[in-house]
Amino acid sequence: MRASSPVISIAQLQKTFYVPEREAGLRAATRNLFRRQNREVKAVDDITFEVAPGEMVGFLGPNGAGKTTTLKMLSGLLYPTGGEISVLSYIPSRRQRDFLRQITLVMGQRNQLAWDIPALDSFELNRAVYQIPRPDFDQTVAELIELLDLEAIVRKPVRNLSLGERMKVEIAGSLLHRPQVLFLDEPTIGLDVTMQRRIRNFIAEYNHRHGATVLLTSHYMADVVALCRRVIVIHHGKILYDGELSGLVDKFSALKTIVLTVPDSSIDLSMFGEVTSREPSRVTLRVPRADTSRVTAQVLASLPVSDLTVEDPPIEEVIEHVFAQGPEQAA
Amino acid sequence: MNFLRVAWAYFRIGALNELQYRVNFFVQLFESFLALATGLVGLALVFSHTQSLGGWSRPELLAVMGIHILMGGLIKTTIQPNMERLMGDVQQGTLDYTLTKPSDSQVLVSVREVRIWQTVDILMGLIIMVVAVIQIQARIGIGQALAFAAALLMGGLMIYSFWLILTTGAFWVVRMDQIVELFQGVYQAGRWPVGIYPGWLRSGLTFLVPVAFAVTVPAEALTGRLTPQTLLGAAALTTALLLASRWVWFTGLRNYTGASA
Amino acid sequence: MRAMLDFYLTQMKMALVQQFQYRVANYFYMIGMIAEPVIYLVVWSTVANAQGGSVAGYTPGEFAAYYIVWTLVRNMNIVLTPYAWENYIQRGWLSMELLRPVHPLHAQIAYFAGWKFVAIVMWLPIAAILAAVFQPEINTSPWAVAAFVVALWGGFFVRFMMLWLLGMITFWTTRVSAIFELYFTMELLFSGRLVPLALLPPWAQQLAAYMPFKWAFGFPIELLLGKYTQAQALYGLGAQVFWIALGAILVRLFWRTALRRFSAVGA
């Protein structure tokens, strides 16, 4: 097998849902019994991309963008309506055993472990399900306990754990079979900031140690920024951007921010650009990207500036702006 | 009486609410029919092997079945939904909303809920009863009819008191969901006249869970078996149970509100 | 495969531990279940006494035996209710199980099987009390007892497969209560649950022989009560195997299509 063959390969993938339309009233209900009236919802509309082994890719998109649907198709839970999809050279929807043994799907706040017994006992069941040899299993469990700091909680019934602790044992449980591909759907949702950071660190460490391919969806920018160099932005089922995180702002933001340190900030700077904030000795300007160097030169030439920095607007803002657009405006 | 006004207000709202879901009517109708069919098959099977059961003839047993369905419908329409909601309120701590209303608390928790589609059972029970009475070919005098109505009313009140006492137990023993299932199992015994059960069971079905008074006694009234002693006993027991349930309710309430810090 | 056996044993052990934790709730449920057979028992004993001691070959003692064994078989019969499928599908539990390299059917069967061991153990004292009260008579033989143990589990598997198939209807429509209730009513009448099948009119008994219900319920009971010759018992066990196999084939046939439906509506 060539070293560079992609782990995940998606071409012109489509997924259309048929959502039943319900009307009120008895007659409509009876009609509904025999002939369902359906509305078409295109959750995934012709997306194409590839993922190389060991890559960590972030899926960004607002709710309903198609991220979770894509992950479910990648893990074999949903059948695509059109297009091709291949993971580890398997067709996911065939759901072959050997395929299922090499992947894992973690959905935030979905429970896989049994509620009323210690996580360690549920791990035992996963061992049997995935047919993990005993020595490998013991080693993996020890490693996960160490990496995720589970020693104190892994023998308590899952229902007695806090939300963050539960998420940790759930993740541990889903990695017992050392999958090569990790699909993580909103893994940090609902957790506090400290726990989010811990889980992010864990994922990074896991990828580093085992070279697992990670596909991560989130609508927390922090997750994606911390873990992924490559980002795929999805909106209304279409890919808006696929590339480096740093390039994201370049592509979507038409603006740059210039922060000036000046002795008197009350001067009028409107000829240079839009003033977004004014503090005693600092002014923040927003200028069109194309004008950045011209404005910078002009400002330096005409004002007593002691410090000047050129920044990108915060990624969150950029993304928000992108998501706020309708499907027609999607690039 | 204020109690009637409150009850009617809740009934109206509950009915209006559920009337929107007309499909549930057909679902309920179908299920009631299935239950009826099963009952009739059971009856037919028994009478394919014998002529009378414990001294009751076939149309008389049909009357018992009719009353059983009718009373069951009454329970499922008003008593059960209210008690189930009360249990839920105690478990989730939402009883406080009701306690702050300016009406008698016992009345409120007893009339809040109504499941209007269960009235199908009440109707069905009535029809079966009428058919049975026609088949018995006895003439029912005014006195008998009145005794029957009284027996039915008292039986209903006894079942209500019984449920309330049991549900109030939720104040102390918070998990009481199994009670509903337990009751439904025991209530099935009322399909047959309690005379056929061995002595200890009969006593249990009379004094422990007042199924006998809910079904058999009204049936006795309808079929001319009712003795004045039984009717008087029913009246005494109803009064006792109503008083007891009210006392238990307020004791439980005191315990509940005292404990909530 | 040895791995499958390992999985079954692990899952069963887990179910045992979990259900043992809920023993109080389980006991409550089992006790509530007694009301039904006791009522039938009393009614038919009354009829038997009125008819001079027996009805259709059953004396009151034998009715007692029938309905006491009934409680055990009833417990073994309790499997995944088809009504659970709506939650199963829409709450995403099915998704979780589909991600594993084991068919959800195996996971469910293993779980319930483990649970049954707890149920059997808890049933014993209840049976003792019922026997003390109702004085059952049993004319059985060692081979019948052995066959009964097999038939008991056979009945569990038969009902499991049938209700799994029934539950699969939920993939296609959620207005299922009518279908389910119809099934349960037929089952009540033709399985031997309402009355011993010998009390049904002959045409009904013949009909019952062709339906799956009897083989999950009445057959094991009658077997233990010594109502069958060895040949008849063997035939009955064969019928159980038939229904289990038929169920398995149908599940296999329709599972893919069902998953496509699941896929179309999403969860």
Q: Are residues A127 and A162 in the same domain?
A: yes
- pLDDT for B261 equals 40
Which alpha helices (DSSP H) does chain A contain, by range?
A: 26-34, 67-74, 97-100, 119-130, 134-148, 163-174, 193-210, 221-227, 245-252, 292-302, 315-323
Chain B residues touching residue C56 (CB < 8 angstroms): 49
If pLDDT is split at 50, 70 and 90, which confidence band does A29 have?
low
| Residue A279 clears pLDDT 90, i.e. is over it | no
Mean pLDDT of A201-211: 91
Mean pLDDT of A171-193: 89
If pLDDT is split at 50, 70 and 90, which confidence band does A111 have?
confident
- The reply to whether A225 falls in a domain is yes
CATH number, residue A270: 3.30.70
Question: Which structural domain range is residue A89 located in?
Answer: 8-249
Report how far residue B213's alpha carbon sits from residue B242's, in angstroms, rounded to the nearest whole number: 14
- pLDDT for A7 equals 86
Q: Are residues A207 and A261 in the same domain?
A: no
Q: Are residues A101 and A14 in the same domain?
A: yes
Tell me what percent of the residues of chain A surpass a pLDDT of 90: 30
In chain C, which residue's Cα lies nearest the Cα of A113?
C96
- pLDDT for B114 equals 87
Mean pLDDT of A230-251: 85
Does C36 contact B188 at a Cβ distance shorter than 8 Å? Answer: yes
Mean pLDDT of C64-72: 95
Confirm or reject contact between A290 and chain B (CB < 8 A). Answer: no
- pLDDT for B177 equals 72
CB A313 within 8 A of CB A257: yes
| Listed range (A215-224, A244-253, B36-45, C74-83) with the worst mean pLDDT | A244-253
Among C36, C41, C46, most B C-beta atoms within 10 A, so best to mutate, is: C46
Show Cβ contacts of residue C223 under 8 Å, excluding neighbours closer than 6 positions. C144, C147, C148, C151, C233, C236
- pLDDT for A270 equals 78
Chain C residues touching residue A79 (CB < 8 angstroms): 259-260, 263
Position with higher pLDDT, B8 vs A204: A204
In chain B, which residue's Cα lies nearest the Cα of C30?
B182
Does B53 contact C47 at a Cβ distance shorter than 8 Å? Answer: yes
Minimum-distance CB partner of B178 among C25, C51, C177? C25
Strands A213-218 and A230-235: unpaired
- The reply to whether A318 falls in a domain is no
| Residue A2 clears pLDDT 80, i.e. is over it | no
Among A40, A74, A95, most C C-beta atoms within 10 A, so best to mutate, is: A95
Domain ranges of chain B: 2-259
Q: Are residues A23 and A56 in the same domain?
A: yes
If pLDDT is split at 50, 70 and 90, which confidence band does C129 have?
very high
Confirm or reject contact between C32 and chain A (CB < 8 A). Answer: no
| Residue A72 clears pLDDT 70, i.e. is over it | yes
Q: Is A62 left (phi over 0), alpha (psi -120 to 50) or beta?
A: beta
- Can you give the pTM of this predicted structure? 0.83
* Chain A neighbours, 3+ Cβ pairs < 8 A: B, C
For chain C, report the end-to-end CA distance as a whole number of angstroms: 32
Q: What is the least distance, in Å, from the CA of A158 to any CA of chain C?
A: 12
Confirm or reject contact between C194 and chain A (CB < 8 A). Answer: no
Chain B residues touching residue C189 (CB < 8 angstroms): 38, 41
Confirm or reject contact between C91 and chain A (CB < 8 A). Answer: no
Chain B residues touching residue A29 (CB < 8 angstroms): 22-23
Confirm or reject contact between A29 and chain B (CB < 8 A). Answer: yes
Q: What is the least distance, in Å, from the CA of A300 to any CA of chain C?
A: 58
| Parts of chain B with a pLDDT under 70 | 1, 174-176, 257-261
Does B178 contact C32 at a Cβ distance shorter than 8 Å? Answer: yes
- How many folded domains does chain C comprise? 1
- pLDDT for B173 equals 74
Position with higher pLDDT, C101 vs C1: C101
Q: What is the least distance, in Å, from the CA of C118 to any CA of chain B?
A: 19
| Residue A330 clears pLDDT 60, i.e. is over it | no
- How many folded domains does chain A comprise? 2
Minimum-distance CB partner of A112 among C7, C96, C259? C96
| CB-defined contacts A:B, below 8 A | 6
What mean pLDDT, rounded, does chain C reach? 92
Q: Are residues A232 and A128 in the same domain?
A: yes
Position with higher pLDDT, C158 vs A279: C158
| Residue C180 clears pLDDT 70, i.e. is over it | yes
Reported as a single tens digit per residue, the pLDDT across B244-259 is 999 999 888 887 766 4
- DSSP character string of chain B: -HHHHHHHHHHHHHHHHHHT-HHHHHHHHHHHHHHHHHHHHHHHHHHHH-S-BTTB-HHHHHHHHHHHHHHHHHIIIIIHHHHHHHHHHHHHTTHHHHHTSSS-HHHHHHHS---GGGHHHHHHHHHHHHHHHHHHT----HHHHHHHHHHHHHHHHHHHHHHHHHHHGGGTS---HHHHHHHHHHHGGGGS-GGGS-HHHHHIIIIISTHIIIIIHHHHHHTT---HHHHHHHHHHHHHHHHHHHHHHHHHHHHHHHH--
Does C17 contact A128 at a Cβ distance shorter than 8 Å? Answer: no
Question: Which structural domain range is residue C105 located in?
Answer: 2-265
Q: Are residues A224 and A271 in the same domain?
A: no
Chain B residues touching residue C22 (CB < 8 angstroms): none
Minimum-distance CB partner of C36 among B49, B51, B185? B185
- Domain final position from A196, A223, A249: A249
Reported as a single tens digit per residue, the pLDDT across C232-250 is 999 999 999 999 999 999 9
Mean pLDDT of C87-93: 83
